[in-house]
Homo-oligomer: A and B are copies of this chain.
Amino acid sequence: MKIKGTFLDEISHDIPHQNWGRVEWDRDFSYMKQIGINTVILIRSGYRKWLTYPSDVLISKEKAYTPPVDLVQMFLELSEKHQMDFYFGLYDSGRYWVNGDFQQESDLNKHVIEEVWSKYGKMSAFKGWYISQECSRKTGAIIDMYRGLGEHCKAVSGNLTTLISPYIDGIKNISQYQKETSRDLGVSLKKHEQDWSEIFDGIKNAIDIVAFQDGHISFDELDDFLLVNKQMADKYGIRSWTNSETFDRDMPIKFLPIKWEKLLMKLKAAERVGMEQAITFEFSHFMSPQSAYLQAGHLYNRYKEYLNQLI
């Protein structure tokens, strides 16, 4: 099981920013490429008022701040240079869908999709869309939102690939603003399967790939949950990637790079159930040789040793 893609954590939600310029990003794409990563996924194009590109839509409608740099343009250019596929992450209002009003989130994002496609659609690295609204349960009108947004992405862009990356409502589904790292009860396997079977059934024609995050459950539960995820996706004709998180959810400092042994266990579990490939959240903080967290560079080296063993 190889890591073939990574999120780009801009706009970051909860991971302190590294303050990289183009030189550092260029170098990071090289580091990614050297270990076989061929896909970069913008985690979100905007969060509340913070934007990755100067969006007329969001600056006018949401009074968002004009960003000093057009990161979408830069990431697309670097993707072309390094021959990577770029997936564009939709806008996350941080409010229109969290409290139930999914319609407003969808409507706004449809304008974003159109704007983005007209601005950047010509660039050859633009290969897919990431529906950035993360969920773990069949909440409110989540099916309608995923389907509506997925269909709109496809309609606008000539059927480019669409991706979601939900999480499991497991024992480690704990706010990063709480000090605890786990809780007593998570969702049962059965309830998880029930919820996601319904969701997959509703979105199967709009979403091509699902990449469940693998960090919210205990290591003992990995095989059970990953197997169910794979089987459900297969049943509804959705491709399965695993989003193998490279940060450690078990530590008081939220968050630093994961211990290699844990990442290895998660990759092997994904392999056992037949996932197509792994992606990760995310390379640049938690796995890059130039990360501000020096543990990340060592993780990179451990992963390279693992790759060499696979050959």
Contacts and interface: CB of A to CB of B under 8 A. Distances in A.
A67 B264 CA distance: 10
Q: How many copies does the complex hold?
A: 3
Nearest to A303: B19
Nearest to A248: B16
A251 B181 contact: no
Interface string A228-272: 000000000000000000001001111111111100110000000
Nearest to A263: B19
A119 interface: no
Nearest to A259: B17
What secondary structure prevails in chain A residues at the interface with B?
loop
A219 B254 contact: no
A47 to B, nearest CB: 11
Interface of A: 12, 14-21, 24, 49-50, 65, 67-68, 175-181, 219-220, 248, 251-261, 264-265, 291-295, 298-299, 301-302, 305
Contacts of A220: 49
B260 A17 contact: yes
B260 A305 contact: no
B21 A251 contact: no
B295 A17 contact: yes
Contacts of A292: 293-295, 298
Contact of A16 (B21, B178, B253, B301): B253
A15 B181 CA distance: 13
A308 to B, nearest CB: 13
29 contacts: A14-B251, A14-B252, A15-B251, A16-B253, A16-B257, A16-B259, A17-B248, A17-B258, A17-B259, A19-B257, A19-B259, A19-B298, A19-B299, A19-B301, A21-B298, A21-B301, A21-B305, A49-B219, A50-B261, A65-B261, A65-B265, A67-B261, A68-B261, A68-B264, A177-B181, A253-B253, A253-B254, A292-B294, A294-B294
A180 B177 CA distance: 6
Contacts of A17: 248, 257-260, 295
Contacts of A12: 259
A51 to B, nearest CB: 10
